[in-house]
């Protein structure tokens, strides 16, 4: 979700109603700005090291060179008014949320090409997107509090997961936000419930257990996996990136980024331990311990 100071406007009381103070240790490092871009929603990193970035108010998919610290529009996705979740499902081929549509963006040719895979007509507000396997992505519906299983090859989709921990709450109908999958576990945040959860699933994305809540007093937006087996969560209005040991479940701040919305790790030898963080003012870099 976009940085909340611009989104909420006349709802300043929302955050004063949270039940407890953030459960994080003081930050360990300052972030460095890679590029200035307005209201970055989500980020992904290509195998060539280039960063892709989305904005919910623009159909432009941006590409960022983290070495040269430059940015440009890689492609404008026809039919979309804004973009959110993004994930690579085949080498240099990405699924991107644009409104209620899931688009394919292919970088394997001389120039990138985009096409609509399928529109999820009954969707409320699609936001987070996670790779499940090479033909399936998981799409979080923040308004309806559910997760779609979506086939990137056929466009077939169905609701796979629904739980009260995914449901919206408060003055804005926005619940489940960030989502990622790894090794039989779906990890997700609920931004306005200030909570982070996990649930085990089988190969058909059916729950095989109950939801485990890792915390309920720290805002979480999108998340990413680090090269060290840790999970990293952008905290939006809490202005940080936190590290989570999956075995422990407690967050530790690794850097300060105002309005942090998302993260993705570098994929070259030089930046494999660098988390690129999307935020209200652009993309930032935080080096973490591996």
- Segment 140-161 mean pLDDT: 98
- Residues forming beta bridges with residue 75, ordered by sequence position: 61
* C-beta neighbour count of 268 within 10 angstroms: 13
Instruction: Answer whether residue 19 shows pLDDT above 60.
Output: no
Question: In the sheet where 146-151 sits, what is the strand order?
Answer: 126-133, 136-141, 146-151, 157-162
CB neighbour list of residue 114: distance below 8 Å, 6 or more residues apart:
61, 75, 77, 78, 96, 103, 104, 105, 106
CB neighbour list of residue 66: distance below 8 Å, 6 or more residues apart:
34, 49, 50, 51, 266, 271, 274, 276, 283, 285
What does the pLDDT look like over 192-216, one tens digit per residue?
999 999 999 999 999 999 999 999 9
Helical segments of the chain, H only: 4-8
CATH topology for 4-8+19-287? Answer: Neuraminidase (2.120.10)
The SS3 assignment for 268 reads coil
Cα dist. 170→177, 191, 270, 275 in Å? 15, 11, 43, 31
What does the pLDDT look like over 232-289, one tens digit per residue?
999 999 999 999 999 999 999 999 999 999 999 999 999 999 999 999 999 999 999 8
Average pLDDT of every residue of the chain: 91
Single pTM value for the model: 0.92
What does the pLDDT look like over 78-104, one tens digit per residue?
999 999 999 999 999 999 999 999 999
Nearest C-alpha neighbor of 196 from the set 171, 223, 174, 160 = 223
Tokens of 167: 């449901």
Q: Which of 3-7, 22-26, 111-115 has the highest mean pLDDT?
A: 111-115
According to DSSP, residue 272 is labeled: T
Residue with tokens 């840790």: 230
pLDDT of residue 6: 47
**pLDDT category, 171, cuts 50, 70, 90?**
confident
Domain residue extents for the chain: 4-8+19-287
CA 114 to chain centre: 20
């Amino acid at each position: 979700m976009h940085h909340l100071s611009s989104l909420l406007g006349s709802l300043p009381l929302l955050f004063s109603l949270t039940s407890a103070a953030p459960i994080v240790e003081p930050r360990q490092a300052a972030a460095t700005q890679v590029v200035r871009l307005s209201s970055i929603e989500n980020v992904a990193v290509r195998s060539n090291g280039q960063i892709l970035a989305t904005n919910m108010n623009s159909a432009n998919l941006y590409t960022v060179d983290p070495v040269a610290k430059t940015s440009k529009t890689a492609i404008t996705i026809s039919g979309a008014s804004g973009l959110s979740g993004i994930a690579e499902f085949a080498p240099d081929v990405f699924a991107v949320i644009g409104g209620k549509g899931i688009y394919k963006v292919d970088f394997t040719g001389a120039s990138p090409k985009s096409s609509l895979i399928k529109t999820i007509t009954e969707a409320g507000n699609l936001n987070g997107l996670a790779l499940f396997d090479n033909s399936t992505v998981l799409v979080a519906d923040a308004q309806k509090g559910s997760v779609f299983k979506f086939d990137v090859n056929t466009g077939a989709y169905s609701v796979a997961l629904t739980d009260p921990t995914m449901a919206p709450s408060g003055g804005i109908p926005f619940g489940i936000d960030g989502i990622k999958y790894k090794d039989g576990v779906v990890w997700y945040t609920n931004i306005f419930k200030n909570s982070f959860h996990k649930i085990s699933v089988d190969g058909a994305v059916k729950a095989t257990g109950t939801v485990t809540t890792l915390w309920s007093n720290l805002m979480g937006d999108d998340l990413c996996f680090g090269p060290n087996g840790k999970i990293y969560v952008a905290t939006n209005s809490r202005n940080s990136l936190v590290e989570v040991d999956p075995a422990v479940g407690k967050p530790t701040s690794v850097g300060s980024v105002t309005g942090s919305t998302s993260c993705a790790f570098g994929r070259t030898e030089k930046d494999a331990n660098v988390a690129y963080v999307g935020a209200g003012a652009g993309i930032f870099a935080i080096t973490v311990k591996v």
